[in-house]
Chain A
Amino acid sequence: MSDLYDAILNGNAPAAAEAARQALEGGAAALELVQGHMVPAMDEVGRRFECEDYFVPELLLAARAMKAALALIRPHLASSGAQPAGRVVIGTVKGDLHDIGKNIVASMLEGGGFEITDLGADVAPEKFVEAVRAHRANLVCLSALLTVTMSSMKTTIDALSAAGLRGQAKIMVGGAPVTQRYADEIGADGYGENAAVAVALARKLCA
Protein backbone atom coordinates (compact mmCIF):
# COMPACT_ATOMS: atom_id res chain seq x y z
CA MET A 1 0.00 0.00 0.00
CA SER A 2 2.82 2.40 0.97
CA ASP A 3 6.23 2.40 2.60
CA LEU A 4 4.73 3.78 5.80
CA TYR A 5 2.02 1.13 5.88
CA ASP A 6 4.53 -1.66 5.25
CA ALA A 7 7.03 -0.36 7.82
CA ILE A 8 4.36 -0.34 10.55
CA LEU A 9 3.06 -3.76 9.59
CA ASN A 10 6.61 -5.14 9.68
CA GLY A 11 7.44 -3.46 12.96
CA ASN A 12 10.33 -1.51 11.45
CA ALA A 13 10.55 1.74 13.44
CA PRO A 14 13.46 3.38 11.55
CA ALA A 15 11.78 2.66 8.20
CA ALA A 16 8.45 4.02 9.47
CA ALA A 17 10.08 7.25 10.64
CA GLU A 18 11.92 7.62 7.33
CA ALA A 19 8.76 7.02 5.31
CA ALA A 20 6.89 9.61 7.36
CA ARG A 21 9.71 12.14 6.96
CA GLN A 22 9.81 11.66 3.18
CA ALA A 23 6.04 11.88 2.86
CA LEU A 24 5.89 15.10 4.90
CA GLU A 25 8.76 16.61 2.86
CA GLY A 26 6.92 15.64 -0.29
CA GLY A 27 3.96 17.72 0.89
CA ALA A 28 1.68 14.95 2.16
CA ALA A 29 -1.04 16.10 4.56
CA ALA A 30 -0.51 14.89 8.12
CA LEU A 31 -4.13 13.85 8.55
CA GLU A 32 -4.03 11.83 5.33
CA LEU A 33 -0.91 10.01 6.55
CA VAL A 34 -2.71 9.04 9.73
CA GLN A 35 -6.09 8.17 8.27
CA GLY A 36 -4.93 6.77 4.94
CA HIS A 37 -1.86 4.82 6.03
CA MET A 38 -1.34 4.48 9.79
CA VAL A 39 -4.89 3.64 10.85
CA PRO A 40 -5.25 1.01 8.08
CA ALA A 41 -1.86 -0.44 9.04
CA MET A 42 -2.85 -0.77 12.70
CA ASP A 43 -6.22 -2.20 11.64
CA GLU A 44 -4.38 -4.84 9.63
CA VAL A 45 -2.09 -5.54 12.61
CA GLY A 46 -5.21 -6.05 14.72
CA ARG A 47 -6.75 -8.33 12.10
CA ARG A 48 -3.61 -10.48 11.92
CA PHE A 49 -3.55 -10.69 15.73
CA GLU A 50 -7.18 -11.83 15.76
CA CYS A 51 -6.47 -14.66 13.32
CA GLU A 52 -3.25 -15.56 15.16
CA ASP A 53 -0.81 -14.59 12.40
CA TYR A 54 0.57 -12.01 14.80
CA PHE A 55 1.24 -12.39 18.51
CA VAL A 56 2.07 -9.97 21.31
CA PRO A 57 5.68 -9.28 20.12
CA GLU A 58 4.43 -8.31 16.64
CA LEU A 59 1.80 -6.03 18.19
CA LEU A 60 4.42 -4.30 20.33
CA LEU A 61 6.79 -3.82 17.37
CA ALA A 62 4.08 -2.47 15.07
CA ALA A 63 3.05 -0.04 17.81
CA ARG A 64 6.67 1.01 18.23
CA ALA A 65 7.01 1.71 14.49
CA MET A 66 3.70 3.57 14.47
CA LYS A 67 4.87 5.77 17.34
CA ALA A 68 8.15 6.56 15.57
CA ALA A 69 6.19 7.86 12.57
CA LEU A 70 3.63 9.63 14.72
CA ALA A 71 6.33 11.56 16.57
CA LEU A 72 7.17 13.29 13.29
CA ILE A 73 3.59 13.68 12.09
CA ARG A 74 2.03 14.92 15.33
CA PRO A 75 3.33 18.54 15.19
CA HIS A 76 1.80 18.88 11.70
CA LEU A 77 -1.47 17.38 12.90
CA ALA A 78 -1.74 19.92 15.69
CA SER A 79 -1.14 22.87 13.37
CA SER A 80 -3.70 21.57 10.87
CA GLY A 81 -6.35 21.67 13.59
CA ALA A 82 -7.25 17.99 13.13
CA GLN A 83 -9.35 16.52 15.92
CA PRO A 84 -8.41 13.17 17.47
CA ALA A 85 -10.79 10.21 17.19
CA GLY A 86 -11.26 10.59 20.93
CA ARG A 87 -9.45 11.72 24.06
CA VAL A 88 -8.53 8.70 26.15
CA VAL A 89 -7.37 8.36 29.74
CA ILE A 90 -5.91 4.91 30.31
CA GLY A 91 -4.33 3.12 33.28
CA THR A 92 -4.02 -0.07 35.32
CA VAL A 93 -6.20 0.18 38.41
CA LYS A 94 -5.09 0.64 42.01
CA GLY A 95 -3.10 -2.20 43.54
CA ASP A 96 -2.14 -3.73 40.18
CA LEU A 97 1.33 -3.24 38.72
CA HIS A 98 0.89 -5.14 35.44
CA ASP A 99 1.16 -2.88 32.44
CA ILE A 100 2.07 -4.79 29.26
CA GLY A 101 -1.54 -5.24 28.12
CA LYS A 102 -2.42 -1.68 29.04
CA ASN A 103 0.61 -0.41 27.08
CA ILE A 104 -0.39 -2.39 24.00
CA VAL A 105 -3.95 -1.09 24.11
CA ALA A 106 -2.66 2.47 24.57
CA SER A 107 -0.41 2.06 21.52
CA MET A 108 -3.13 0.51 19.40
CA LEU A 109 -5.50 3.35 20.28
CA GLU A 110 -2.82 5.93 19.56
CA GLY A 111 -2.24 4.29 16.20
CA GLY A 112 -5.98 4.44 15.64
CA GLY A 113 -5.94 8.22 15.90
CA PHE A 114 -6.86 8.64 19.56
CA GLU A 115 -5.18 11.12 21.89
CA ILE A 116 -3.79 9.17 24.85
CA THR A 117 -3.13 10.16 28.44
CA ASP A 118 -1.44 7.14 30.03
CA LEU A 119 -1.53 7.26 33.83
CA GLY A 120 0.61 4.13 34.23
CA ALA A 121 -0.03 1.32 36.72
CA ASP A 122 -1.44 1.24 40.29
CA VAL A 123 -3.63 4.28 39.57
CA ALA A 124 -5.99 5.43 42.32
CA PRO A 125 -9.64 6.24 41.41
CA GLU A 126 -9.17 9.94 42.22
CA LYS A 127 -6.28 10.11 39.74
CA PHE A 128 -8.60 8.88 37.00
CA VAL A 129 -11.22 11.47 37.99
CA GLU A 130 -8.62 14.24 37.99
CA ALA A 131 -7.22 13.23 34.57
CA VAL A 132 -10.65 12.90 32.94
CA ARG A 133 -11.44 16.45 34.05
CA ALA A 134 -8.04 17.90 33.13
CA HIS A 135 -7.91 16.35 29.66
CA ARG A 136 -11.66 16.57 28.93
CA ALA A 137 -11.49 12.87 28.13
CA ASN A 138 -14.44 11.14 26.51
CA LEU A 139 -13.12 7.62 27.04
CA VAL A 140 -11.58 5.93 30.09
CA CYS A 141 -9.80 2.58 29.73
CA LEU A 142 -9.24 0.50 32.86
CA SER A 143 -6.97 -2.55 33.02
CA ALA A 144 -6.54 -5.24 35.71
CA LEU A 145 -4.56 -8.47 35.58
CA LEU A 146 -5.41 -9.89 39.00
CA THR A 147 -8.80 -11.00 40.28
CA VAL A 148 -7.89 -9.37 43.59
CA THR A 149 -7.59 -5.94 41.92
CA MET A 150 -10.66 -6.23 39.70
CA SER A 151 -12.73 -4.65 42.48
CA SER A 152 -10.62 -1.50 41.96
CA MET A 153 -12.32 -1.22 38.56
CA LYS A 154 -15.64 -0.94 40.32
CA THR A 155 -14.40 1.64 42.81
CA THR A 156 -12.93 3.66 39.92
CA ILE A 157 -16.20 3.55 37.98
CA ASP A 158 -18.08 4.53 41.15
CA ALA A 159 -15.69 7.45 41.65
CA LEU A 160 -16.24 8.65 38.06
CA SER A 161 -20.00 8.37 38.58
CA ALA A 162 -19.85 10.26 41.87
CA ALA A 163 -17.83 13.00 40.16
CA GLY A 164 -20.60 13.35 37.57
CA LEU A 165 -18.32 12.37 34.69
CA ARG A 166 -20.28 9.46 33.23
CA GLY A 167 -22.11 11.76 30.81
CA GLN A 168 -18.82 13.08 29.50
CA ALA A 169 -16.76 9.90 29.34
CA LYS A 170 -17.53 6.30 28.42
CA ILE A 171 -15.66 3.55 30.26
CA MET A 172 -14.16 0.40 28.80
CA VAL A 173 -12.44 -2.36 30.76
CA GLY A 174 -10.09 -5.22 29.93
CA GLY A 175 -7.36 -7.54 31.20
CA ALA A 176 -6.91 -11.29 31.37
CA PRO A 177 -9.36 -12.12 34.22
CA VAL A 178 -12.00 -9.55 33.16
CA THR A 179 -15.14 -10.76 31.41
CA GLN A 180 -18.13 -9.19 29.64
CA ARG A 181 -20.24 -10.40 32.55
CA TYR A 182 -18.08 -8.54 35.08
CA ALA A 183 -18.03 -5.44 32.87
CA ASP A 184 -21.84 -5.49 32.89
CA GLU A 185 -21.98 -6.04 36.65
CA ILE A 186 -19.84 -3.01 37.46
CA GLY A 187 -21.56 -0.77 34.94
CA ALA A 188 -18.78 -0.36 32.36
CA ASP A 189 -19.84 0.79 28.89
CA GLY A 190 -17.72 -1.78 27.11
CA TYR A 191 -15.38 -4.75 27.44
CA GLY A 192 -12.50 -5.52 25.10
CA GLU A 193 -11.29 -9.10 25.03
CA ASN A 194 -8.01 -8.09 23.39
CA ALA A 195 -6.13 -5.07 22.02
CA ALA A 196 -7.48 -5.48 18.49
CA VAL A 197 -11.07 -5.45 19.72
CA ALA A 198 -10.27 -2.46 21.93
CA VAL A 199 -9.74 -0.12 18.98
CA ALA A 200 -13.04 -1.01 17.31
CA LEU A 201 -14.84 -0.73 20.64
CA ALA A 202 -13.25 2.66 21.37
CA ARG A 203 -14.40 3.98 18.00
CA LYS A 204 -17.91 2.77 18.69
CA LEU A 205 -18.01 4.31 22.17
CA CYS A 206 -16.64 7.64 20.92
CA ALA A 207 -18.93 7.81 17.87
Chain B
Amino acid sequence: MRLKLISCEVLYREMCAAAARSPHQVDIEFLPKGLHNLGGPAMRAWLQDAVDRVDATRYEAVLLGYALCGNGIAGLESHTLPLVIPRAHDCIALLMGGRDRYRSYFENHPGVFFRSTGWLERGEDLEQATLYTLEALTARYGDDNGRYLFEQFNGYQRNYRQLAYIATGLEPDGSFEQRAREEAARRGWQFETICGGLRLFERLVAGDWDENDFLVVPPGWRVKATYDDGVIEKERVA
Protein backbone atom coordinates (compact mmCIF):
# COMPACT_ATOMS: atom_id res chain seq x y z
CA MET B 1 0.00 0.00 0.00
CA ARG B 2 0.97 3.58 -0.47
CA LEU B 3 -0.25 5.74 2.40
CA LYS B 4 -0.26 9.46 3.05
CA LEU B 5 0.33 10.51 6.66
CA ILE B 6 -0.63 14.01 7.77
CA SER B 7 0.72 14.56 11.26
CA CYS B 8 1.29 17.18 13.88
CA GLU B 9 4.98 18.02 14.13
CA VAL B 10 4.88 17.33 17.87
CA LEU B 11 5.02 13.63 16.88
CA TYR B 12 7.88 14.11 14.41
CA ARG B 13 10.40 11.61 15.78
CA GLU B 14 7.79 8.98 16.60
CA MET B 15 6.15 9.14 13.17
CA CYS B 16 9.46 9.06 11.29
CA ALA B 17 10.59 6.03 13.28
CA ALA B 18 7.30 4.21 12.73
CA ALA B 19 7.21 5.03 9.01
CA ALA B 20 10.78 3.75 8.61
CA ARG B 21 9.68 0.32 9.82
CA SER B 22 6.33 0.20 8.02
CA PRO B 23 5.76 -2.59 5.46
CA HIS B 24 4.08 0.10 3.32
CA GLN B 25 5.32 3.21 1.62
CA VAL B 26 4.36 6.15 3.83
CA ASP B 27 4.68 9.75 2.65
CA ILE B 28 4.55 12.18 5.56
CA GLU B 29 3.45 15.80 5.70
CA PHE B 30 3.98 17.52 9.04
CA LEU B 31 1.83 20.48 10.05
CA PRO B 32 2.73 23.11 12.70
CA LYS B 33 2.05 22.38 16.35
CA GLY B 34 0.58 25.88 16.57
CA LEU B 35 -2.69 24.60 15.02
CA HIS B 36 -3.48 23.33 18.51
CA ASN B 37 -3.83 26.95 19.68
CA LEU B 38 -6.18 28.09 16.93
CA GLY B 39 -9.25 26.47 18.43
CA GLY B 40 -11.30 23.57 17.05
CA PRO B 41 -12.99 25.10 13.97
CA ALA B 42 -9.85 26.84 12.63
CA MET B 43 -7.70 23.77 13.18
CA ARG B 44 -10.24 21.57 11.41
CA ALA B 45 -10.36 23.95 8.43
CA TRP B 46 -6.57 23.77 8.14
CA LEU B 47 -6.58 19.97 8.35
CA GLN B 48 -9.45 19.66 5.87
CA ASP B 49 -7.43 21.70 3.42
CA ALA B 50 -4.41 19.42 3.88
CA VAL B 51 -6.55 16.27 3.48
CA ASP B 52 -8.24 17.61 0.35
CA ARG B 53 -4.86 18.38 -1.24
CA VAL B 54 -3.83 14.71 -1.18
CA ASP B 55 -3.70 13.20 -4.69
CA ALA B 56 -6.31 10.42 -4.49
CA THR B 57 -4.84 8.61 -7.49
CA ARG B 58 -1.56 7.97 -5.69
CA TYR B 59 -2.67 6.73 -2.26
CA GLU B 60 -5.01 4.23 -0.70
CA ALA B 61 -5.71 6.03 2.54
CA VAL B 62 -4.91 9.21 4.46
CA LEU B 63 -3.58 8.60 7.97
CA LEU B 64 -3.88 11.32 10.57
CA GLY B 65 -1.21 11.83 13.21
CA TYR B 66 -3.77 13.55 15.40
CA ALA B 67 -6.18 12.77 18.20
CA LEU B 68 -9.44 14.64 18.88
CA CYS B 69 -7.20 17.57 19.89
CA GLY B 70 -9.77 19.89 21.47
CA ASN B 71 -12.28 19.17 18.66
CA GLY B 72 -9.62 20.06 16.06
CA ILE B 73 -10.64 17.02 13.96
CA ALA B 74 -14.38 17.09 14.76
CA GLY B 75 -16.28 17.51 11.51
CA LEU B 76 -13.33 16.56 9.31
CA GLU B 77 -14.70 15.01 6.10
CA SER B 78 -13.43 12.27 3.85
CA HIS B 79 -14.06 13.24 0.23
CA THR B 80 -12.06 10.76 -1.85
CA LEU B 81 -9.82 8.58 0.34
CA PRO B 82 -10.60 6.90 3.67
CA LEU B 83 -9.24 8.74 6.71
CA VAL B 84 -7.65 6.67 9.47
CA ILE B 85 -7.46 8.23 12.93
CA PRO B 86 -6.32 6.82 16.28
CA ARG B 87 -9.03 7.00 18.95
CA ALA B 88 -7.65 9.32 21.62
CA HIS B 89 -8.27 12.72 23.16
CA ASP B 90 -4.81 14.13 22.58
CA CYS B 91 -1.21 13.39 21.67
CA ILE B 92 -0.35 12.57 25.27
CA ALA B 93 -2.57 9.50 25.01
CA LEU B 94 -0.89 8.57 21.70
CA LEU B 95 2.58 8.92 23.23
CA MET B 96 1.55 6.85 26.25
CA GLY B 97 0.54 4.07 23.90
CA GLY B 98 -3.24 4.26 24.25
CA ARG B 99 -6.21 6.09 25.68
CA ASP B 100 -6.90 3.54 28.43
CA ARG B 101 -3.50 4.06 29.97
CA TYR B 102 -3.90 7.83 29.62
CA ARG B 103 -7.29 7.79 31.30
CA SER B 104 -6.15 5.77 34.28
CA TYR B 105 -3.07 7.99 34.69
CA PHE B 106 -5.12 11.16 34.26
CA GLU B 107 -7.71 10.12 36.82
CA ASN B 108 -5.04 9.64 39.46
CA HIS B 109 -2.94 12.67 38.47
CA PRO B 110 -5.14 15.63 37.50
CA GLY B 111 -2.46 18.33 37.86
CA VAL B 112 0.21 17.15 35.45
CA PHE B 113 2.04 18.92 32.64
CA PHE B 114 3.42 16.56 29.98
CA ARG B 115 6.58 16.77 27.93
CA SER B 116 8.01 14.63 25.13
CA THR B 117 10.76 15.15 22.55
CA GLY B 118 8.31 17.03 20.33
CA TRP B 119 6.91 19.14 23.14
CA LEU B 120 10.45 20.13 24.10
CA GLU B 121 11.97 20.85 20.72
CA ARG B 122 9.09 22.09 18.59
CA GLY B 123 7.20 25.35 18.79
CA GLU B 124 7.42 25.98 22.51
CA ASP B 125 7.18 29.68 21.75
CA LEU B 126 3.67 29.11 20.45
CA GLU B 127 2.27 28.19 23.83
CA GLN B 128 -0.58 30.40 24.87
CA ALA B 129 0.80 31.57 28.19
CA THR B 130 3.82 33.25 26.64
CA LEU B 131 1.62 35.59 24.60
CA TYR B 132 0.89 37.46 27.82
CA THR B 133 4.23 38.21 29.43
CA LEU B 134 4.32 40.46 32.48
CA GLU B 135 6.22 43.06 30.46
CA ALA B 136 3.68 43.11 27.63
CA LEU B 137 0.71 43.30 29.99
CA THR B 138 2.06 46.10 32.19
CA ALA B 139 3.08 48.09 29.08
CA ARG B 140 -0.42 47.79 27.66
CA TYR B 141 -2.62 47.98 30.78
CA GLY B 142 -0.50 49.79 33.37
CA ASP B 143 1.38 48.39 36.32
CA ASP B 144 -1.48 47.39 38.63
CA ASN B 145 -3.88 46.03 36.02
CA GLY B 146 -1.00 44.40 34.12
CA ARG B 147 0.12 42.49 37.19
CA TYR B 148 -3.45 41.48 37.90
CA LEU B 149 -3.89 40.11 34.37
CA PHE B 150 -0.58 38.26 34.53
CA GLU B 151 -1.72 36.59 37.74
CA GLN B 152 -5.09 35.70 36.17
CA PHE B 153 -3.54 34.18 33.04
CA ASN B 154 -0.93 32.19 34.92
CA GLY B 155 -2.91 31.38 38.02
CA TYR B 156 -3.98 28.03 36.57
CA GLN B 157 -0.40 26.83 36.98
CA ARG B 158 -0.93 27.00 40.73
CA ASN B 159 -3.17 23.99 40.25
CA TYR B 160 -0.40 21.90 38.71
CA ARG B 161 1.93 19.88 40.84
CA GLN B 162 3.89 17.63 38.54
CA LEU B 163 5.66 17.45 35.21
CA ALA B 164 5.88 14.10 33.48
CA TYR B 165 8.30 13.30 30.68
CA ILE B 166 7.04 10.62 28.33
CA ALA B 167 9.99 8.58 27.07
CA THR B 168 9.38 6.64 23.85
CA GLY B 169 12.81 5.04 23.62
CA LEU B 170 13.80 7.08 20.58
CA GLU B 171 15.88 9.59 22.53
CA PRO B 172 19.54 9.68 21.48
CA ASP B 173 20.65 10.36 25.06
CA GLY B 174 19.34 11.68 28.37
CA SER B 175 19.22 15.33 27.30
CA PHE B 176 15.47 15.53 26.69
CA GLU B 177 14.65 13.99 30.03
CA GLN B 178 17.15 16.33 31.67
CA ARG B 179 15.51 19.40 30.10
CA ALA B 180 12.11 18.27 31.36
CA ARG B 181 13.57 17.63 34.81
CA GLU B 182 15.03 21.13 34.89
CA GLU B 183 11.72 22.66 33.82
CA ALA B 184 9.95 20.85 36.67
CA ALA B 185 12.53 22.16 39.14
CA ARG B 186 12.13 25.70 37.77
CA ARG B 187 8.36 25.54 38.27
CA GLY B 188 8.69 23.89 41.67
CA TRP B 189 6.88 20.73 40.58
CA GLN B 190 7.54 17.06 41.14
CA PHE B 191 9.07 15.19 38.23
CA GLU B 192 8.36 11.78 36.82
CA THR B 193 9.40 9.88 33.71
CA ILE B 194 6.73 7.71 32.13
CA CYS B 195 7.53 4.97 29.65
CA GLY B 196 5.46 5.60 26.55
CA GLY B 197 5.62 3.65 23.35
CA LEU B 198 5.39 3.57 19.60
CA ARG B 199 2.73 0.87 19.42
CA LEU B 200 -0.09 3.11 18.14
CA PHE B 201 2.15 4.90 15.64
CA GLU B 202 3.47 1.62 14.28
CA ARG B 203 0.00 0.14 13.91
CA LEU B 204 -1.24 3.31 12.20
CA VAL B 205 1.38 3.13 9.46
CA ALA B 206 1.29 -0.68 9.24
CA GLY B 207 -2.41 -0.72 8.31
CA ASP B 208 -3.32 -2.56 11.50
CA TRP B 209 -6.49 -0.55 12.10
CA ASP B 210 -8.36 -2.48 14.75
CA GLU B 211 -11.73 -0.83 15.32
CA ASN B 212 -11.15 -0.52 19.03
CA ASP B 213 -8.13 1.74 18.58
CA PHE B 214 -8.69 3.35 15.17
CA LEU B 215 -11.55 5.02 13.35
CA VAL B 216 -11.74 4.58 9.58
CA VAL B 217 -13.84 7.29 7.92
CA PRO B 218 -14.89 6.30 4.38
CA PRO B 219 -15.62 8.86 1.63
CA GLY B 220 -18.91 10.64 2.22
CA TRP B 221 -18.53 10.41 6.00
CA ARG B 222 -17.04 12.72 8.60
CA VAL B 223 -15.60 12.61 12.12
CA LYS B 224 -17.96 13.11 15.04
CA ALA B 225 -16.70 13.63 18.58
CA THR B 226 -18.52 11.36 21.03
CA TYR B 227 -16.58 12.21 24.23
CA ASP B 228 -17.21 8.67 25.48
CA ASP B 229 -14.77 5.75 25.70
CA GLY B 230 -14.49 5.52 21.91
CA VAL B 231 -13.75 9.28 21.70
CA ILE B 232 -14.74 9.62 18.01
CA GLU B 233 -17.19 8.04 15.59
CA LYS B 234 -18.08 8.49 11.96
CA GLU B 235 -21.29 10.03 10.68
CA ARG B 236 -22.63 10.45 7.18
CA VAL B 237 -22.16 13.89 5.63
CA ALA B 238 -25.66 15.31 5.28
Contacts and interface: CB of A to CB of B under 8 A. Distances in A.
Contacts of A146: 70, 89-90
Interface stretch (B8-16, B26-34, B77-85, B152-160): B152-160
A143 B148 CA distance: 22
Q: How large is the interface on B (under 10, 10 to 19, 20 to 34, 35 or more residues)?
A: 20 to 34
B152 A147 contact: no
B194 interface: no
Interface in A118-164: 121-122, 146-148, 150-151, 154
Contacts of A98: 156
B152 A121 contact: no
A70 B137 CA distance: 25
- Scoring B102, B103, B106, B227 by chain A CB atoms within 10 A of each residue's CB, the highest score goes to B227
A97 B110 contact: yes
A121 B160 CA distance: 12
A98 B152 CA distance: 11
A195 to B, nearest CB: 13
Given A147-B89, A151-B228, A60 B152 contact: yes
Nearest to A103: B152
B111 interface: yes
Nearest to A186: B227
A100 B89 CA distance: 21
Contact of B103 (A99, A148, A154, A179): A148
B39 A64 contact: no
A11 B140 CA distance: 13
Contact of B70 (A13, A154, A177, A182): A177
B40 interface: yes
B227 A147 contact: yes
Given A95-B107, A147-B89, A100 B40 contact: no
Q: How large is the interface on A (under 10, 10 to 19, 20 to 34, 35 or more residues)?
A: 20 to 34
A182 B40 contact: no
B145 interface: yes
B68 interface: yes
B225 interface: yes
A13 B148 CA distance: 11
Contact of A122 (B39, B110, B149, B231): B110
Nearest to A11: B145
A147 B71 CA distance: 7
Contact of A121 (B106, B145, B159): B159
Interface string B195-238: 00000000000000000000000000000010110010000000
- Scoring A60, A122, A147 by chain B CB atoms within 10 A of each residue's CB, the highest score goes to A147
Interface in A56-70: 57, 60-61, 64
B110 A61 contact: no
Contacts of B132: 57
Given A64-B148, A146-B89, A177 B40 contact: yes
B39 A176 contact: yes
A98 B111 CA distance: 10
B2 to A, nearest CB: 32
A122 B159 contact: yes
A177 B153 CA distance: 19
Given A148-B106, A182-B227, A99 B148 contact: no
A121 B106 CA distance: 15
Closest 9 CB pairs of A and B: A97-B159, A148-B89, A150-B227, A177-B71, A147-B68, A147-B89, A177-B70, A57-B149, A61-B145
12 contacts: A11-B145, A64-B148, A96-B110, A97-B110, A121-B159, A122-B110, A147-B68, A147-B225, A148-B103, A151-B227, A176-B39, A177-B70
Given A97-B160, A122-B159, 11 more contacts: A11-B141, A57-B132, A60-B149, A61-B145, A97-B111, A97-B159, A146-B90, A147-B70, A147-B225, A148-B103, A154-B227
